[in-house]
Chains A and B, each alone.
Chain A
Amino acid sequence: MRKRTLKRGLTAFWWATLAFLYLPLAVVVLFSFNASNSAATFTGLSLRWYGRLMGNEEILSAFANSMILAISSSVIALGIGCLIGYGMYRHRHRKLGWLIVLIYLPIVLPDIVFGISEMAFFVQVHRLTGLLQPGLVTMIIAHVTFQIPFVALIVYSRFVGLDPTLFEAAKDLYASPVKRVVHFMLPTIKPALISAFFLSFTLSVDDFVISFFTAGPESATLPIYIWGAIKKGVSPEINAIATLMIAAVAIAAIISLIFSRRRQA
C-alpha cells in the first residue's frame, strides 16, 4: 500500500521535473511564433520572425561561422586526439601520469579560466608577433584544445576494449605498418571515430564562454550573436533562431535514439 503511494508520488515528481526541464524551451518555441513583439503576452500565430531571420546577414554569417568553427575544429581534434589515444593505448604499460594530467586539464579547468587564459595569451602573442589575431583561427585553436581530450579518451577506450592479439594477427597476416592502419586500425575504431566527431561537433556548437573570449569582431558565432542580441534588449528574432537550434538538437536526439535502438537489435 505504502509502496504504491510512493510510486505514484515519484511518477508525479517525474512529470513535474520534465515540465521544469522543457518549460523554458517551450516558451522560446512558442514566442518565436508570436504575432506581436511582446515577450509577455502571446497575441497570435505568425511566421514573421522567421522571415526576418532570412534577411539578417549578421545571423547568416554567425551561422556560417558556427559551422566552419565546429567542423574544422572537430576534424583537427579528431586527427590529433586519435593519435594521442592510440599512443596512450600502445604505451599504456609505461608511466604516463603526466600525459593523463595533461589530457584531463582541459576538462577540469573552469570554462571562464580557460577562456580568459586563451584570450590573454592570444592578445599578447598578437601584440608581440602580429600573429594569431583574435578571430576564427584563435577560436578554432581554443576549441581543438578542449576537444582533444574527449577524442583521445573515446579512441583510447575503444582500443582498450580490443583483443591485443588482433594487432599481432594483422602483422602476422602480412600487413605492413601502413596497411595495418588502413585495413585494420581505422576500420576497427570507426564507430569510436564517428562518435568522437559528433561529440566534438556538439561541444563546439554548444560552447559559448570560450568562443566569447577568443572571438574577434568578425567571427561571432550563433551563441555569441544571440548573447549580444539579449544584452542589447530582447528581440523576438532571437526566439526564432533559438527555436531552429532547439529543433536541430531534437533531430540529433531522435537520430541518437534510433542508432542506440539499432545497436541493441
Chain B
Amino acid sequence: MAYTGVTPSARSRGMVREARHLLVTVAPGATWIVIFLVLPSAYLMGVAFMTNGPYGLPEMPLSLESFRRLAGFGFLGWSPGNLYTLLRSLWQTLVSTGLVVIVAYPIAYYISTCRAKWRPIMLLLVVVPSWTNQVIRTFGWMNLLAPGTPLSNLAEGLGFIAPNMGLYPSNFAVTLGLVYNFLPFMVLPLYAAFEKLDTAQVEAAQDLFASPVRAFWHAVFPQTLPGLLAGIVLVAIPAFGMYVIPELLGGGKGMMLGNLVANQFAGGANWPLGAAGAILMLIATFIGLFAMRRIGKRLGGGEEVVI
C-alpha cells in the first residue's frame, strides 16, 4: 500500500493505449449516430420552436406558434381537428394493444404446451408474415376489406355498415391493421415467459386453490408479467407513432398523430407544426419506456425489461 514509486510512463502508456483503442473502435459508430441521428433530431426539436415560412420551411424568429397550432388554435379560431387526431391515436394504441394481448396470450401459452419439436416452427409461422413489407401486408387488408368483397358484404348484410361503403377506409380497419401488424411482437416475449414458467409453482397453486382461475391468477400470471410488459412496450410505442396503416386503411377520418406529423413534411405544409407533433411523440415514447422500466424493476425477479 505504501508503495507509490510507480513509474508513471508504464502505467500511463497502457492507459493511453486503451483509450486510443476505445476511440478507434467506438468513434466511427458513435460519430455516425451523433451526426446522422442526434444532430437531425436536435435540429427537428429546434424547428418546433421556429416560425413557419412561406414554403413550409422553418424561419426565425423563435415562437411557440406551432404548439398553439398543434393544440388547435388557427387563423380561424380554435378547431378540434388536431385534438381528435391525438385522442384517436391514444385510443387506437390502447384498443389495439389490448386486443393484441387478448389474442397473443392464449397463442403463446398454446405454443408452449406443444411438443418441443414443433415449437420453433410454430413461432416461425407467427413471425413470418411480419417479415413481408408493411406496405404489402396493409395492401392485403385493403383487398380483403374493400367494398364488394365477401367480408364487406357480410358486414353489410349484418347491418354494421351502410351499403357499398366497404369495411375500409375506417377506424375499424386501422385497429385491425394494427393488431395484425403487432401480434408477433407480443407473442415472442410472452412465449419466452411461458417457456420459463416454473411448473412446480403452478402445481402447488392447483393444490392450494380450488378454482383454476385463481390458480392461474396467483401462479401463472405473475410469472408472465415481465414478458407481457416487454410485449406492451414493443407494441404500444410503435403503434402510437404508426404512419402506414392509418394512411392506407384509415382515410381522412382515421388519421393518427403519425399522419399529422408526416403530412406537414411530405406536403411541405408546415415543418414547425410537424416538428411540434414529433416532440409530442417523443415525449410519449420516453414516458412509455420510463414507466415500463419502473414497473419492470419493481416487479423485480432480476428480470429487467429491456427493449
Direct contact of A and B (CB under 8 A): yes
Q: Which interface residue of A17, A20, A109, A113 has the most chain B CB atoms within 10 A?
A: A113
Interface residues on A, range: 35 or more
B265 to A120, Cβ gap below 8 A? yes
Contact flag A102-B34 (CB < 8 Å), given A121-B43, A208-B133, A238-B139: yes
Apart from A25-B137, A202-B131: 14 A-B pairs, beta carbons within 8 A: A10-B110, A21-B129, A21-B183, A83-B29, A87-B25, A108-B307, A109-B282, A110-B237, A110-B241, A110-B281, A113-B44, A120-B265, A148-B29, A223-B134
Q: Which B residues have a C-beta under 8 Å from some C-beta of A?
A: 18, 21-22, 24-26, 28-30, 32-34, 36-41, 43-44, 47, 103, 106-107, 109-110, 113, 120-122, 124-126, 128-129, 131-137, 139-144, 146-149, 180, 183, 212, 237-238, 240-241, 243-244, 248, 258, 261-262, 265-266, 271, 274-275, 278, 281-282, 285, 289, 307
B244 to A13, Cβ gap below 8 A? no
Smallest CB gap from B126: residue in A = A21
Contact flag A23-B146 (CB < 8 Å), given A13-B107, A102-B34, A108-B289: no
B261 to A116, Cβ gap below 8 A? yes
B120 to A260, Cβ gap below 8 A? yes
A24 to B106, Cβ gap below 8 A? no
Partner of A242, one of B107, B128, B139, B265: B139
Closest CB of chain B to A88's CB: distance in Å?
Answer: 7
B237 to A208, Cβ gap below 8 A? no
Q: Which interface residue of A41, A87, A103, A119 has the most chain B CB atoms within 10 A?
A: A87
| Residue A80 lies at the interface, judged by CB distance under 8 Å to chain B | yes
Report A138-173 CB contacts with B as 1/0, cut-off 8 Å.
000110110010001000000000000000000000
A99 to B26, Cβ gap below 8 A? yes
Contact flag A230-B137 (CB < 8 Å), given A116-B265, A116-B278, A257-B121: no
B30 to A99, Cβ gap below 8 A? yes
Closest CB of chain B to A252's CB: distance in Å?
Answer: 7
| Residue A176 lies at the interface, judged by CB distance under 8 Å to chain B | no
Partner of B144, one of A13, A27, A257: A27
Q: Which A residues have a C-beta under 8 Å from some C-beta of B?
A: 2, 7, 10-11, 13-14, 17-18, 20-25, 27-28, 31, 39-41, 80-81, 83-84, 86-88, 90-91, 94, 99, 102-121, 124, 141-142, 144-145, 148, 152, 202, 205-206, 208-209, 213, 222-223, 226-227, 230, 234, 238-239, 242, 245-246, 249-250, 252-253, 256-257, 260
B26 to A40, Cβ gap below 8 A? no
In the assembly, what is the distance between CA of A86 and CA of B22, in Å?
9
Contact flag A84-B26 (CB < 8 Å), given A24-B141, A119-B265: yes
A10 to B106, Cβ gap below 8 A? yes
A145 to B131, Cβ gap below 8 A? no
In the assembly, what is the distance between CA of A208 and CA of B137, in Å?
12
